Amino acid sequence: MIKLYQFEPAFGLPNASPFCMKLETYLRMAGLPFEIAPNANIMKAPKGKMPYIEDNGRAIADSSLIIEYLRKTYGDRLDAKLTS
């Protein structure tokens, strides 16, 4: 299962970081099973910033690179029901 490391909720939002919100939204919309890691430590992040994920023992940082990895690994079903 994908483990998502991100900041805690703040200011009445699920996350104060737009990059963390972007990634969590993608995971939810894509229907990928994931869990949010409690007490994420930015010092352990691969690039020293949030968000990052762990998937099958691999740590990946940067929301755009993570989404690209998820699309390649699990496929992208978001457009599956669209017609031209």
Write the pLDDT tens digit of every residue in 2-40: 999 999 999 998 899 999 999 999 999 999 999 999 888
The yes/no answer on whether domain 2-74 falls in CATH 3.40.30.10 is: yes
**Stretch 74-83: mean pLDDT, rounded?**
85
Strand order through the sheet with 58-61: 34-36, 2-5, 52-55, 58-61
Q: Looking at per-residue confidence, does 12 or 79 come out higher?
A: 12
Q: Is the pLDDT of residue 74 over 90?
A: yes
Between CA 81 and CA 69 the distance in angstroms is 22
Residue corresponding to tokens 């755009």: 64
